[in-house]
A = this chain, B = another copy of it.
């Protein structure tokens, strides 16, 4: 059986040239295209404007490192255990980039997108956005579900990244409907929930990425890209000022051995 053809617009080589996204890599990409710009281009197969790039890189900066998160601890512990494999330490850290600690960005971007896609036309003024946001938060509450992007366990009175990203997007003229809806949610939710929660940084990043027209299925991917840079920073610090062995010993020495607790499944036929 003949093999199928595998089409791609990404990297390609001949003996003389290397092409990336249809451009000559050496001549037209290296030295001319920043790394954030390139990452956007690779994902969207279109080159972003300088304004789009600035917003995108602001998002990556916002998500790159948050100190001793589980992912950072995991990368350091894995490197302690297997120092021969930097790729394993980074991969292990990224595997924590799931629903709880890095997923808010994706969840928020998708949530806003779903609301907007289902709306009967888009609002044209703040009052219209507030009405859509009110309807959205009310429906969410009635369904007993959280509003993605709302609330933060540390920055209870406001996440400093949020106004900054709104401002950068506005400066660059790339604030779109996802950010508009997210801002409106920030204005109206106290009427419904009875208390004021901050719009968090992970959420506003999701809104901004969606406004940049990036694929919703990969919003988590951009958070992971940002985090890769952060995890390299964690490894670089671990190499010179190690903490992983202390973390390990702190757990190991405080272990308390108990008797097995046999698992009992839930009852059936309830």
Contact = CB atoms under 8 A, between A and B. Distances in A.
A222 to B, nearest CB: 7
Given A117-B268, A225-B232, A263-B45, A88 B77 contact: no
Interface stretch (A36-44, A133-141, A143-151, A182-190): A36-44
Contact of A252 (B56, B68, B213): B68
A194 interface: no
Interface in A73-131: 73-74, 77-78, 80-92, 94-103, 113, 116-122
A135 to B, nearest CB: 14
Given A1-B2, A7-B241, A241-B7, A225 B236 contact: no
A173 interface: no
A236 B42 CA distance: 8
Contacts of A66: 11, 13, 18
- Residue of A12, A30, A229, A230 with highest tally of chain B CB at under 10 A: A30
A33 B19 CA distance: 28
Interface string A213-232: 11111101110111011101
Contacts of A171: 31
Enumerate the 6 nearest inter-chain pairs by beta-carbon distance, A residue then B residue, closest first: A82-B98, A42-B233, A81-B96, A35-B36, A46-B262, A11-B67
A171 to B, nearest CB: 8
A70 B78 contact: yes
Contact of A100 (B5, B58, B82): B82
Given A62-B30, A73-B77, A168-B30, A13 B154 contact: yes
- The interface centre, meaning the residue of A81, A113, A257, A261 with most chain B CB atoms within 10 A of its CB, is A81
Nearest to A4: B246
Contact of A67 (B1, B8, B65): B8
A197 interface: no
Given A82-B101, A251-B247, A160 B16 contact: yes
A72 B121 CA distance: 40
A233 B225 CA distance: 11
A26 B160 contact: yes
A84 B84 contact: yes
B237 A9 contact: yes
Contacts of A65: 10-11, 20, 42
A142 interface: no
Interface in A229-270: 229-230, 232-237, 239-241, 243-244, 246-248, 250-270
